[in-house]
Structure 1
């Protein structure tokens, strides 16, 4: 079953169970995938769908930062709950330690040892962590490794 089919099946289940919150989150994701397909970029395969879901997670994380500034605990909780639902459709997320191991290993392989090598290191690391880690966190860890 493809990711799009899985999203549809889970959306139907949540509608039958009258779980409006989950149904709305899944509907938003399905709409984002449909918008991608209608934009003329072709059919969204599982990898593309995961990238779209990861973007949605990032948008919600960015919103949480703003909600914290505005002391909107209700919206923070809602966004966190939405992220939990979205994580069900993404690969298991890497821990900081796992990302650090990957970055250190790749840095040793390509000989990256200064901030001048950041672009080269990021371009080598991203394919290994794509969809499994937040890009901002990866960037921070790469900077940390290169500043040693």
Structure 2
């Protein structure tokens, strides 16, 4: 997640390419709101450098940064075939392979995904439902009214 301060630095970097145009707090807040929430500052900096590495006649916007970060992440993601080979090499069961694949596609390293897949008891099982706490008497005891008083007509 990019902070407001980091967003102001990113926006200042962009504006430096266009004659150090002034930045207002509103500009920074709008820029930050348009960036992907999962983006890191390093990913954003890399995207800005990549954007301006070719001759550009327009300003780099948050949408351009988002697009470049998504493209970079997609390149870094392993293919289905590679994930299958890694799971087979690790000797994972079908259920563990499913969890391994999920973790790899979410961005975990091979070793981290394997650790999570092996340590999970049953990744497809739902956690048990916790029972609701029972109320005493069925009435609110803070009111000072019991069931007998309600049935007997308030005596």
Which structure's CA Rg is the greater one?
Answer: 2
Q: Same fold (TM over 0.5)?
A: no
Q: TM-score, normalised by structure 1?
A: 0.31
Higher relative contact order (CA 8 A, sep 6+): 1
Q: TM-score, normalised by structure 2?
A: 0.30
